Amino acid sequence: MLDIGPIHRREYELEAVRPIPLRRPGDSEKKSLSGKAGSGDKTGRSGADNPVVIAEAPGRVHFLGEHGDPSAGLYLSAAIDCCVKTAVSARKDNSLRFYAADLGERKRSTLVNLKFKREDRWANYIKTAIHVFVELGVPLKGMDFTIAGNIPHQIGLASSSAIEVASAVALRGFLRVKIGDRELVQRLSAAHELFFGKSANPVDYIIALAAKKDQFLVVDESSMEVTRIKSPFSDCRFILMDSRVPRLGVESELENRRNDVKTALEMLAQGREGACFREFAAMDIMESMGNLPEVIRRRSLHVVQEIRRIQDAKDCLLCADLAGFARLVFHSHEGLRDLYEVSCPEIDWMVKRAQETDGVLGARMTGQGFGGCTYTIVRNEALGEFRSRIDDYERIFGFRPAIYEMKLSTGSHIIKNA
């Protein structure tokens, strides 16, 4: 991954101290080889001694629970050792400049024009973090931002949330603002909804802030409580496989499923306020759901069973019952395939091949579905056999999956202070 500190300094600071070329009256302004004005004052940059704060935030994997209760989600998740880094430094003007080092792209805005723009793409997530501190009433001037990351995009690993969290944590340190993680999660969620017009999942922010190395997290979305469990998979590898299946036009399908689950909860609760699926997880679920329309019953059945699986998986992790954990993970994928119906043939093939391999301790779809990614937990000695079984994927489906090895990593933190 790119070393973001020198890149940020090169892009924003060193240019400010280059000598200003002498010009005769009437000459047009000359530019440097990079196409930027040679004058440090005119660019608004404050020189090579300008303090820089750098923070990083990880991606994440949901092992269980991603398609869950719409009012009180429960997740078994972990941060992974792919991350986004954000560097921030001050300017002398009110401009906001953004540079994505690994894309070679630049965007710009101003503090008085801080709003979502479709063409700004990745920079909108940085602007979301800036808005948090605008709403806090923190006096702000112009700033330069550089980001770089190695989280694979568009496969359900929360790369966009990592940009928001890394930028917010960098700004919190840079501006020396005292704001706790819980409030930061709430304010990021509100800012994201304002900018993008749709709700963010606060769980992604919670994981990015609360994660610890080699630990699973059980996250309660309603209370924002986190339970950390030491990973018992010390002799295993965690493998992510991007199916490379195009995911086009699936948002309406996902919205239909969310509406089905919401309708089921309303019918089961019979008008009671504050009801959630967890209370039905402790009951005879077939009896409770017998009068629901079939499609709605299947969707909600997966949600209730998933709540039970997370509770059971927590116990398996605590007592290092790896075989029991594997059974729960495989059953969860069956629910996503048969009840919630968000899998696809390519993903199902990957999971089935993993399940047929001795030494695999669980495999499942992760992400929103209809393509995307699977995770597999495989013992070290079985890694070669597992990889050989996946080799047929390209021959059968016509394209090669992208395979990543990951580790359970720590949460967001500052890696360079001013």
Active site (catalytic) residues: 204
Helices 159-174 and 123-135, axial angle in degrees (round to 10): 40
Distance of CA 310 to the CA centre of its chain: 20
> Is the Cβ–Cβ distance between 240 and 373 less than 8 Å?
yes
Structure tokens at 128: 């979301």
**CA distance linking residue 174 with residue 129, whole number of Å:** 13
**CA distance linking residue 20 with residue 10, whole number of Å:** 17
Q: What is the dihedral of CA 307, 310, 312, 313, to 10 degrees?
A: 160
Q: Which bin fits 91, alpha (ψ -120 to 50), beta or left (φ > 0)?
A: beta
- E strands, 348-418, are 360-366, 373-379, 402-406, 413-416
**CA distance linking residue 369 with residue 352, whole number of Å:** 16
> Is the Cβ–Cβ distance between 86 and 55 less than 8 Å?
yes
Alpha carbon of 214 to those of 53, 121, 322, 416: distances in Å? 26, 32, 15, 23
Q: Which amino acid is it at 70? A: P
Structure tokens at 281: 């997880």
Distance of CA 373 to the CA centre of its chain: 13
Structure tokens at 326: 């594997």
